[in-house]
């Protein structure tokens, strides 16, 4: 744990050197602003906490509590999709009040407290599902305001770079999280409760970083009309917005939880409990190495082509899981899975930032994320059912086929002359 403590201390020292007194005109020309770096630091620390839980949750539920793949699929979908409507609440509240930092901080705080709820839930699947819903409620509230602050702190031509760097910092935390979980499991004799307590402490640190170092750029919208409920109608009628939301829904339907990928790999490799979190480490390492280069590439050659290439990598990962087991298979699948997230996560938000109007950008990002999350809920449940009743072959083949259909449909929806510049 000494390494993690040293790294977090370095983080505080680095953030404290940011000159927050610089006037806006001096920082506007920077390709990545101090605010983006501060938000990246918050995400880094938060993801250490979150990925500690994510890394052990599949094995805890399936092996520790003997859940079927169908039951795990329902909980995994709940983890991302069941509270998706709160993304709209968070997005609208942030635009309405222009207090994006406050709304994001509320979300981070809720997720932090939820980590302790896992201790109280014990072995009750129902209570675990409720706690997960609360945790995802926090994520639902914070994600759109955070991404909106990134877009409002970055010149439009550099959105891919900014999101790429933010997601790189985020993935550093995702890379460290499973390692910390594995260390805690080893030191605490496979105690999941110890993982949950450590996760809570680190999540609390992320809230402190947010409060001290992130600035809310409310001045960006000075002179804009107040945001009211009927403004959502204006947002929906804006050019390209409905197509963007429809594409996000399709993309969500094509994605199954990475927990399923890790469970399938564990089944082929017969990994022990202690080593299971390393699967997430491998995937996150690929994400870490590729997020910034692919974000920069998206700014240069087009955000839509890079994002669709990521979904091609996802389809290949699903098909690779049908091959005979072995360490080569493990490396290939984790590399493809990490490439998928690096090419899609931040790039989709960068693409959205070029389409959505400034005054309603947080609400618009929330709409995109809500549609994608609700679709993800359905895809996880369906994949779990398919695996349970028809086996891995049918489930994985169907998932790969859905990705192929989605790539074609998304190209039709977003590849329009008006949006070509936005996609770049």
CATH of the domain at 360: 1.20.1250.20
Q: How far apart are CA 176 and CA 228, in angstroms?
A: 41
Element (H, E) at 364: helix 361-390
Number of domains in the chain: 1
Q: How large is the angle between the packed helices 34-59 and 278-301, nearest 10 degrees? A: 140
CA distance 139 to 143: 6
Over residues 385-401, mean pLDDT = 90
| Residue 232 confidence (pLDDT) | 64
pLDDT interval class at 20 (50, 70, 90): very low
Q: Is 182 a member of any domain? A: yes
223 in a structural domain: no
Give the pTM.
0.69
CA–CA gap between residue 293 and residue 357 (Å, rounded):
27
Q: Which pLDDT value is given to residue 206?
A: 93
What is the per-residue pLDDT for 208?
93
Q: Mean pLDDT throughout 420-424?
A: 44
Mean pLDDT of the residues in the chain: 79
Q: How far, in Å, are 20, 49, 125, 141, 324 from residue 53 at the CA level?
A: 34, 7, 15, 19, 29
Question: Locate tokens 């609360």: which residue?
Answer: 134
State how far the Cα of 421 lies from the Cα of 121, in Å rounded to an integer: 49
CA 195, CA 56: separation in Å to the nearest integer? 9
Share of the chain above pLDDT 70, in %: 80
Confidence of residue 190 (pLDDT cuts 50, 70, 90): low
Max avg pLDDT among 113-127, 375-389, 393-407? 393-407
Report d(CA 221, CA 152) in Å as an integer.
9
* pLDDT tens, residue by residue, 211-243: 998 888 654 444 445 554 555 666 777 778 888
Look at residue 231 in the predicted model and tell me its pLDDT: 57
Span of 143-152, 234-243, 397-406 with lowest mean pLDDT = 234-243
pLDDT at 70: 72
Percent of the chain at pLDDT above 90? 18
On the 0-12 / 13-18 / 19+ scale of CB atoms within 10 A, 343 is: buried
Band the pLDDT of 23: cuts 50, 70, 90: very low
Residue (of 391, 386, 370, 79) closest to 251 by Cα position: 370
Closest C-alpha to 11, from 217, 219, 212: 212
- Chain center to CA of 93: 21
Reply yes or no on whether the pLDDT at 423 is more than 60: no
Instruction: Write down the pLDDT at residue 230.
Output: 58
Residue 120's pLDDT band (cuts 50, 70, 90): confident
- Judged against a pLDDT cut of 70, whether residue 175 lies above it is answered with yes
Rounded CA gap, 116 and 129, in Å? 14
**Would you say residue 320 lies in a domain?**
yes
pLDDT, tens digit, 9 for 90 and up, residues 40-93 = 999 999 989 988 887 777 777 766 677 777 777 767 666 566 566 677 777 777
Does residue 161 form part of some domain?
Answer: yes
Please say if the pLDDT value at position 25 is more than 80: no
For residues 220 and 294, give the distance between their C-alpha atoms in angstroms, rounded to a whole number: 28
Contact status, residue 72 vs residue 259, Cβ threshold 8 Å: yes
With respect to residue 221, please indicate whether it lies within any of the assigned structural domains: no
Mapping DSSP to helix (H, G, I), strand (E, B) and coil, where does residue 351 land? helix
Residue 259 falls inside a structural domain: yes
Residue 204, pLDDT score: 94
Closest CA to 283 of 329, 346, 340, 344: 340
Q: Which residues contact 124 (CB under 8 A, 6 or more apart)?
A: none
Helix, strand or coil, per DSSP, at residue 135: helix
Q: Do residues 95 and 362 make contact, with C-beta atoms less than 8 angstroms apart?
A: yes
- Joined tokens for residue 107: 């979300």
In a domain, 76, yes or no: yes
Task: Print the domain residue range for 242.
Answer: 2-19+27-216+229-423
Average pLDDT over residues 87-115: 84
Residue 376 included in any domain = yes
pLDDT band at 6 (very low <50, low <70, confident <90, very high): very low
Q: Lowest-pLDDT range, 268-277, 356-365, 385-394?
A: 268-277
| pLDDT value at residue 77 | 65
């Amino acid at each position: 744990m000494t390494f993690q403590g040293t790294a977090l201390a370095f983080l505080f020292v680095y953030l404290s050197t940011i000159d927050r007194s610089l006037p806006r005109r001096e920082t506007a020309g920077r390709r990545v602003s101090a605010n983006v770096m501060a938000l990246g630091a918050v995400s880094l620390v938060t993801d250490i906490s979150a990925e500690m839980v994510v890394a052990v949750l599949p094995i805890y539920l399936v092996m520790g509590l003997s859940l079927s793949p169908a039951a795990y699929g329902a909980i995994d979908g709940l983890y991302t999709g069941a509270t998706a409507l709160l993304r709209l609440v968070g997005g609208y509240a942030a635009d309405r009040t222009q207090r994006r930092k406050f709304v994001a901080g509320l979300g981070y705080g809720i997720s932090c407290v939820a980590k302790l709820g896992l201790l109280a839930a014990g072995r009750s699947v129902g209570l675990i599902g409720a706690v997960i819903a609360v945790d995802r409620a926090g994520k639902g509230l914070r994600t759109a305001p955070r991404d909106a602050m990134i877009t409002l702190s970055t010149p439009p031509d550099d959105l891919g770079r900014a999101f790429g760097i933010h997601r790189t910092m985020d993935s550093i935390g995702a890379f460290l999280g499973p390692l910390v979980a594995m260390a805690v499991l080893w030191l605490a004799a496979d105690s999941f409760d110890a993982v949950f307590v450590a996760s809570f402490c680190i999540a609390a640190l992320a809230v402190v970083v947010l409060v001290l170092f992130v600035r809310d750029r409310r001045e960006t919208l000075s002179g804009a009309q107040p945001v009211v409920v009927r403004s959502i109608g204006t947002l929906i009628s804006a050019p390209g917005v409905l197509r963007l939301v429809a594409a996000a829904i399709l993309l969500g339907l094509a994605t199954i939880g990475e927990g399923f990928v890790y469970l399938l790999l564990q089944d082929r490799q017969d990994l022990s409990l202690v080593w299971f979190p390393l699967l997430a480490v491998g995937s996150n390492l690929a994400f870490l190495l590729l997020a910034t280069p692919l974000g920069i590439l998206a700014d240069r050659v087009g955000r839509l082509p890079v994002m669709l290439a990521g979904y091609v990598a996802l389809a290949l990962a699903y098909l690779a899981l049908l091959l005979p087991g072995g360490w080569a298979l493990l490396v290939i699948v984790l590399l493809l899975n990490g490439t998928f997230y690096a090419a899609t996560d931040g790039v989709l938000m960068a693409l959205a930032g070029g389409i959505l109007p400034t005054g309603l950008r947080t609400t618009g990002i929330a709409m995109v994320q809500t549609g994608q999350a609700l679709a993800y809920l359905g895809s996880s449940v369906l994949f779990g059912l398919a695996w349970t009743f028809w086996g891995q072959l049918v489930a994985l083949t169907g998932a790969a086929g859905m990705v192929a259909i989605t790539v074609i449909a998304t190209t039709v929806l977003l590849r329009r002359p008006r949006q070509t510049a936005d996609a770049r």
